[in-house]
Amino acid sequence: MITINKKRFKEHFRRKMNNLYAQTLEEASNEELFNVLCYVIKDMISKDWEGSRIYQEKAVFYFSIEFLLGRQLKSNLLNLGFEDTIRQGLNELGIDLDEIVESEPDPALGNGGLGRLAACFLDSMASVGISGHGYGIRYKYGLFEQKFVNNSQVEVPDNWLINSSYSWETVRPNRALLVKYEGKINMEKDDEDNLKVTHKDYIPVMAMPYDIPIIGYGNECINTLRIWKSEIPTRDFGKSSSYAKNQAASYEDALKYKYYAEEISQTLYPNDSNYAGQLLRLKQEYFFVSAGIQDIFRKCRRYKITTQDLPNKIAIHINDTHPALCIPEMMRILLDEEGLSWDESWNITIKVMSYTNHTILCEAMERWSEDIMKKLLPRMYMIIEEINKRYVNDLRKKGYSEEKVKRMAIMYDGEIRMANLCIVSSYSINGVAQLHTKLLKEEVLNDFYEEESYKFNNKTNGIAHRRWLISSNPELANLITKLIGNKWIKDTSHLKELEKFVDDENVLNRLEEIKFNNKVKLANYIKENNNITIDPNSIFDVQVKRLHAYKRQLMNILHVLCLYHEILDNVDLELDIQPRTFIFGAKAAPGYYLAKCIIKLINCVANLVNNDPRVKGKIKVVFIENYGVSLAEKIIPAANVSEQISTTTKEASGTSNMKFMMNGALTLATLDGANVEIYQQVGKENMFLFGLSAKQVLDYNKYGGYSSKDLYHSNKLLKRVVDDLVNGFIPGLGKEGREIYDALITYNDEYFVLRDIDEYADAQQRISNLYKDKIKWNKMSLINIANSGIFSSDRTINEYIEDIWFKGCDEDVQNNII
């Protein structure tokens, strides 16, 4: 058990400051104080961290191209149970823990939902106490920092490794590995007629591991997130390749080579749910996959795990298709290094791999050109080709039509479809919410589902409630513990016991007071950073997530424009409008023009509305710059309304919906993604539902019949706000307005904004009416909190463990192995 003693902590802290910086505490900056505290904590956990690396049980390796960790200090202190002692100790040294917390860099090694989910899963794997580790990339630059210049988004590099290092990480040069690109594959038979495969003339890149400890809550489990940095190989490694030797010949070539290697882990691709197909991305994907799989084999050899025993000892999880090359890379090692036959290698691989699909958006599906794969990763290409050949043969033997075979093939028309590769080569395929999984089974992956239905399952996403409630909303967490004890911290199903207090006015008032306090804190932040004064008595109506047309921030802002017109039209009547603050936070992918136009629109409408005295502060619009994990922790606890308004069928799950609910916000939603499951928990009387059903959207997509133009011409209010986009009504909005207008009218409104906006406005009106009845509102808020327990990622991870990782390969899969 890791324990702490205040006196010893203080001594340790002073000593560490002296060791690291040769200075006194008084001379130190907040950043230095953070670094020192971090090293002190690492010293304290080092024994347990070492211990957790010994595998007594099955180990899970979670491969993800993104891990959106957020700051670690507070959540580590919480999980270790050290916060109070350290706070007091530091206090006695004249140091404020909260200031140190704010000076920790926020590693943005992810874009949004997918990366944040991976981070929540790491927290939960450690907290439920399994040996579960992450493999990813140590990007030098994380997701860009967003600035607004003249109302438009400008991207600034996120130089989070200010002094080239991050205090939580430990670099392990003796565990560096080589990843091989390009070159030629030689196949020769040796004297005993065994096939020997060698990779010649490759370009070697060294993968340097950096380990970050992942600390479980209230247990001794400390797992590892290992992220790899790309470098030119050190001399020992260099010897192994003729390439490295030749490159050293000329200084210029050596520089080029350095660039080639280092570029790989230089920057995170800033695309969320959008496939760009660039060569560098494929290099990144193979880079961390190859290093990770080699690392796993090295560990297995060290612990004397035989290849046959691998499926009993390890589980490899492929988080979306970005790490799909895990499959051919594992095959490569089994075939070429371990000398196993194809069938033996395949049998092992398929029993180890599981895969999660995170989206049904067509534009997000990875498809690599065969030519690129062949040139960059010749051995991977060969293995994928063989998997495809066997699979297609098998399908043909079953007598399927050529049409169907074409749809299911891994390789088709010069492209490699990575989702198909994952489906064919894994024993488990899961979606991330009930509706999403249903759509995978019945629509997008229906061919595969009909073929191997037993592989498909659902794992509804979850969130690390320790970070998203206990750490970021301590007042609420304390109230909950006061009311129902602390069992809920380990097992969130206990939150249900809060329902006992649904008629307790004291509790409801306290709930309101806590929300108000959080709103004041957020209002202060917004005043300081955006110089906008907002009223904590107004409804805080929040939409924070990546900017994407399907998420429909556009519908939200068009509705604001409707309200603005209503106020102006009735300026003499003193409309009885419930004061509202519309809060947005969203980054757009730098190349996503429409999304950037929508950002500009929101900013321009904000300026217009906020500065018009006739509005009398009844509505305000705030777009908070640079939304990320740290900001989310401030914004979510302060929200009254959670906007989850995606076009039904398009949002696979959503996770901010769960965070808001757990913090007592009421959800305004379409029945999309995990909103459906929120609805199952609280019923329609405790949330605000509107919009097209999944079936209606699917039918429109299949059979047509939707005309946004007709709606525009038949609905005066709609026509008015859409025309505002192009008639100069919104100062500062130029050609961006036309772009949005075209998306809505000329291109028939792909995401049904105009179709849903009336119902959306009605739902908003219901919200305004209800907010007047504080008791009723607070009751609903309590019911939401009480029923949010199911959305803890501990629940999700336990399901992954039971149904996938520890259960292993189904008999059906085994019987069906091709």
**Catalytic site residues?**
358, 545-546, 551, 655, 659
The interface mask with ligand C3B, positions 294-323, x = CB under 6 A, is --------------------------x---
Please, which residues bridge with residue 621 across strands? 582
**Least spacing, CB of residue 637 vs ligand C3B, in Å:** 20
CA distance 438 to 429: 12
Distances (CA, A) of 701 to 264, 448, 759: 39, 22, 20
Identity of the residue, 272 or 633, whose beta carbon is nearer to ligand C3B in the bound complex: 272
Restricted to residues 720-779, the positions that interact with ligand C3B (CB under 6 A) are none
Among 655, 670, 787, 793, binds ligand C3B (CB under 6 A): 655
Binders of ligand C3B among residues 335 to 364 (CB under 6 A) are: 358-359, 364
For 315, the 3-state DSSP assignment is strand
The site map against ligand C3B for 56-95 (x = CB under 6 A) is ----------------------------------------
Please select the residue that binds ligand C3B; options are 348, 376, 432, 544, rule is CB under 6 A: 432
Query: Going by C-beta distance under 8 Å and a sequence separation of 6 or more, which residues neighbour residue 328?
Result: 379, 380, 383, 384, 387
Q: 424 is written with which tokens? A: 């064919």
Phi, psi of 206 (to 5 degrees): -90, 135
Instruction: Return the number of the residue (651 or 677) whose C-beta is nearest ligand C3B.
Output: 651
By CB under 6 A, what part of segment 589-608 binds ligand C3B? none
Smallest gap from Cβ 102 to ligand C3B, in A, equals 27
Cβ of residue 117: shortest distance to ligand C3B, in angstroms? 4
Q: Considering only residues 422, 652, 661, 733, which one is a binding residue for ligand C3B as defined by CB under 6 A?
A: 652
654 contacts 559 by C-beta, under 8 angstroms: no
Q: Residue 389 Cβ, how far from ligand C3B at the closest point, in Å? A: 29
530 and 147 in contact (C-beta within 8 Å)? no
Q: Give the separation between CA 48 and CA 221, rounded to whole angstroms.
A: 7
Q: Does 272 bind ligand C3B (CB under 6 A)?
A: yes
Residue closer to ligand C3B (CB basis): 552 or 580:
552
Spell out, one character per residue from 97 to 116, where the chain touches ligand C3B: x when CB under 6 A holds, - when not: --------------xxxx--
Kindly tell me which of 111 and 420 has the beta carbon lying closer to ligand C3B: 111
- Compute how many residues bind ligand C3B; rule: CB under 6 A: 19
Q: Rounded to whole angstroms, how far apart are CA atoms 551 and 650?
A: 8
Q: What b/e sequence results for 374-387 when a residue is b if at least 16 CB atoms lie within 10 Å of its CB, and e otherwise? A: bebbbbbbbbbbeb
187 vs 276, beta carbon nearer ligand C3B: 276
**CB of residue 556 to ligand C3B, shortest distance in Å:** 18
- Residue 534's CB: how many other CB atoms inside 10 A? 22
- Quick one: CA torsion of 681, 684, 685, 691, rounded to 10 degrees? 140
Task: Select the residue interacting with ligand C3B from 366, 651, 736, 749 (CB under 6 A).
Answer: 651
Select from 76, 79, 273, 630 the one that contacts ligand C3B (CB under 6 A): 273
Shortest distance, position 80 Cβ to ligand C3B, whole Å: 28
Measured from the CB of residue 289, what is the shortest distance to ligand C3B in angstroms?
17
How many angstroms separate the CA atoms of 235 and 254, rounded? Answer: 13
**415 and 275 in contact (C-beta within 8 Å)?**
no
Binds ligand C3B by CB under 6 A, chosen from 107, 323, 378, 673: 673
Residues in the chain: 818
- In the complex, least distance from residue 127 CB atom to ligand C3B, rounded to whole angstroms: 19
Give dist(CA 502, CA 495) in Å, integer: 13
The position carrying tokens 């992954």 is 800
CA distance 30 to 144: 24
- For ligand C3B, which is the closer residue by CB, 431 or 637? 431
Mark residues 114-143: x for contact with ligand C3B by CB under 6 A, - for none.
Answer: x--x--------------------------
Residue placing its CB nearer to ligand C3B in the complex, 437 or 781 = 437
Q: Where are the alpha helices (DSSP H) in 333-463?
A: 342-350, 370-376, 378-397, 402-408, 418-425, 434-439, 446-451
Range in contact with ligand C3B (rule: CB under 6 A) among 134-142, 339-347, 652-660, 698-706? 652-660
CA separation for the pair 202, 224 (Å, rounded): 30
Q: Which is nearer to ligand C3B, 344 or 799 (CB)?
A: 799
Binding mask 454-483 for ligand C3B (x = CB under 6 A): -------x----------------------
Which CB atom, from 445 or from 783, has the smaller least distance to ligand C3B? 445
CA 672 centroid distance within chain: 18
Residue nearest ligand C3B, Cβ-based:
113
Three-state helix/strand/coil letters over 525-590: HHHHHHCCCCCCCCEEEEEECCCCHHHCHHHHHHHHHHHHHHHHHCCCCCCCCCCEEEEEECCCCC
- Binding site residues, ligand C3B, CB under 6 A: 111-114, 117, 272-273, 320, 358-359, 364, 432, 461, 651-655, 673
